[in-house]
Amino acid sequence: MTRGERIRVEDGQRAGSWIVDRLTGSFGSVGSVVPNDYPAYCRILHSARSSEGEPLTWKHLVKELGGVTHPLMQWDALTNRWPSGSEQLFGPPLKGRMVPREFAALCRTIMAHEVDPANEWRFAFWIGWAWSAPLRGSRRDKAMHLHQEAMAEETSIRFSDGELHLPLLELDDREYRVIVAPPQASLEFSVSDGPWGALSTPSMLWSSKHEWCVATEVDFDSTLVGGPTSLISEILASDELEVWGVGPGDSLASDGDLLNR
């Protein structure tokens, strides 16, 4: 994949304006993370890791260590129930981003469902991945400068200064850089010498026609997808992902797991 394949930075506010009014509900609810007016939704659990680095499903760990599997289960609620020291046997799931292999599996399913091969995708990256400084005042200005450097250094894609100074997408208290790329680009986050370089998988992803939307809240260890029922059914049927059906009003807040307290 090269710059010649329609990869560019886009005005984030313009690209994501359709999302702003469609995020509703209390913090942690499905509809506060992904637009709330889709016919169907699913939740993809990010896999844990064995001590050898192999992926482990939550279902497998619950079977081994106890707990209740259900669509709204929370990792912290489960680990609080497990025997002391068991957390040394595995690594926790990633928060705020997907394992590239699982992200690619999700995107292949979406690509197989789409009928328009010319449909471009929007990749929204939370700018906070480039640093840890609070995004306020002079520190925010410094953070923005570091973000520009990270975009230039961590990928093999080269953007102009004008592109990197386009407005960001602002959702609540988070800001995102929006990049437009062909769907095939979504498969290259797991390629060590690919164009995305050291960038994490995107925080949000959607098609140019907004038929579906993928969102990973920065503090969540799962990813949400909203879209047509047929697409969500295909994702739920994937044997490469651990997926549960959810609704826009469901809570994924830390205290939302009522069965594993």
What is the per-residue pLDDT for 25? 87
What does the block give as tokens for 165? 């100074």
Question: Is residue 81 within 8 Å of residue 260, measured between CB atoms?
Answer: yes
Residues in the chain: 261
Inside any domain, residue 132: yes
Domain-located, residue 234: yes
Strand-pair category, 48-50 with 55-56: antiparallel
CA 126-130-133 angle, to 5 degrees, is 95
Res 89 pLDDT > 50? yes
In a domain, 137, yes or no: yes
Q: Which residues of 148-162 are buried (b: 16+ CB within 10 A; e: fewer)?
A: bebbeeebebebeee
In a domain, 208, yes or no: yes
* Top mean-pLDDT range of 179-188, 198-207, 241-250: 241-250
Give the other-Cβ count within 10 Å of 145's Cβ: 12
φ/ψ of 231, rounded to 5, equals -70, -45
Instruction: Give the whole-angstrom CA distance, residue 186 versus residue 76.
Output: 30
> pLDDT confidence of 136, banded at 50, 70, 90?
very low
User: What is the full DSSP assignment across 158-210?
Assistant: ---HHHHTSPPEEETTEEEEEEEE-GGGGGGTT-TTSTTTTPPPPSEEEETT-
Number of domains composing the chain: 1
- Work out the percent of the chain whose per-residue pLDDT is above 90: 57
Does the structure show a pLDDT above 50 at 84? yes
Cα separation, 173 vs 40, whole angstroms? 26
Q: Is residue 59 part of a domain?
A: no
Averaged pLDDT of the chain: 85
The whole-number average pLDDT for the span 14-23 is 95
pLDDT computed for residue 199 by the predictor = 67
Residue 213 belongs to domain spanning:
3-46+94-246
Would 105 be classed as within a structural domain? yes
Residue 65 lies in a domain: no
pTM of the complete model: 0.88
Residue 252 lies in a domain: no
What is the Cα–Cα distance from 57 to 90, expressed in whole angstroms? 11
214-244 confidence digits (pLDDT tens): 999 999 999 999 999 999 999 999 999 999 9
